[in-house]
Copies of this chain bind each other. A is one copy, B any other.
Amino acid sequence: MARTDDRFRSAYNKLLDICTQMEVGGQLPAEAVLADRMEVSRTIIRSALQRLDTENLIQWEGRRKTLIKQPEARHRLSQSESTPTGEELEKRFLEWILRFDVPAGTALNIAQLSRQFGVPAHSLQEFLSGLSRFGLVERGSKGGWILSGFTAEFAIELSDFRLVLEMNAIRHLLSLPQDHEIWGKLKEVRAEHIALRKDLKKRYHDFSTLDGKFHATVNSVVKNRFVLEAQKLISLIFHYHYMWDKRDELERNAAAIEEHLEWIDAMLARDMGGSEEAALKHLRRSKETLLASLKNHKLA
């Protein structure tokens, strides 16, 4: 019970490594030095030393920590595999919602989900609490969580929000000087589009990634934590939809490549009006596609 001793185990094993690189009879460094080196507290070092002592690997008297014999493989402590990171959880959660088309209003069962995703219930709660800022989930009146999206409304508002952010990015981008790195990046992305277009019939699956890269490039000129955070959610959702909506994939991607190229060329020509127009055209179509895919999913 109580918290895991993962930290202790990892430190103990590292300490074994240090012992292996020493001669029998040598002295281990001071507690504080060890603690500093492996980035844990002295408390943890002391417990590890104690254990080394009871295992008769070292003799510990005051500040003398003498190595008695080399540790063997059997002395190593097994480590529990690490829990998925926050980003990993985010991905899996969105995947679950989008792929299995969980309807809006579904009550989320913390215990069950935490088992399903293999994370402690606690961190799942924290995660949901974060998502509630984006209105994807809500707290129920008497405890519990309710999935309030992914509805058509959510998709519309997300797309509109994306439109606002990207239009802003364009205005920023076009005001940048000739020698800014963005122009080189844009030309690079343009080349990738053309390469993909040539070979589209074989590689049309690759467009999803390229689409993400293009939008990320455009938005990279806006250095703003709020925009960035929003962008992360947006690109995740659009990315997954590209991945799973298989209807007319080739045609859709071919059209999107043309739209991207038109947009890129307008930007490279420093044509503000043209860029905005091309962007608007692409983003509107993107929104329609997202909505259509939602409706299609619902009917299936």
A-side interface residues toward B, CB under 8 Å? 7, 39, 125-127, 129-130, 132-135, 142, 154, 157-158, 160-161, 164-165, 168, 223-227, 229-230
* A181 to B: closest C-beta gap in Å: 21
- Whether the Cβ atoms of A164 and B165 lie closer than 8 Å is yes
Q: What is the oligomeric copy number? A: 2
Residues in chain B near residue A135, CB distance under 8 A: 225-226, 229
Chain A interface, >50% SS class: helix
Determine how close the nearest CB of chain B comes to the CB of A284; give it in whole angstroms: 16
CB pair B161 A227 closer than 8 Å: yes
Find out whether the CB atom of B126 lies under 8 angstroms from the CB atom of A157.
no
- Least CB distance, A39 to chain B, in whole angstroms: 8
Closest to A135 in B: B225
Cα separation A135 to B7 with both chains bound (whole Å): 27
**What CA separation (Å) do A25 and B233 show in the bound complex?**
62
Q: List 29 A-B contacts (CB under 8 A).
A: A7-B142, A39-B142, A125-B126, A126-B126, A126-B129, A127-B129, A129-B130, A130-B130, A130-B132, A130-B133, A133-B133, A133-B134, A134-B225, A134-B226, A135-B225, A135-B226, A135-B229, A154-B225, A157-B223, A157-B224, A157-B225, A157-B226, A158-B226, A160-B224, A161-B224, A161-B226, A161-B227, A164-B227, A226-B230
